[in-house]
Amino acid sequence: MRGCSLASMLGFLGAAFHLWQLSLALRIGAFNIRTFGDSKLSNTTITDLIVSVSLCLDLSPSQGL
């Protein structure tokens, strides 16, 4: 490759490897709960399931809340 020094290539590869390792360590999940009203909130089975799954994840955006 023209214009790239060995040091910059090694720096790029090191950064890419670090980001790859970080992505392997993250547990990500996304949820679409649709309408989350009082009826779902009062159902302990549903709320316990949502809480237990969310606690296992590092990042869990939820849509529909």
More confident residue, 6 or 1: 6
Alpha-helical regions (H) of the chain: 6-25, 38-42, 44-55
pLDDT for 10-62, tens place per residue?
A: 899 999 988 888 777 788 888 887 777 788 788 899 889 888 988 888 888 87
The confidence score (pLDDT) of residue 3 equals 67
Q: Which residues on neighbouring strands pair with residue 62, listed in sequence order? A: 31
Q: Which of left, alpha, beta for 55 (phi over 0: left; psi -120 to 50: alpha)?
A: alpha
Quote the pTM value. Answer: 0.50
* Tokens 């849509």 belong to residue: 63
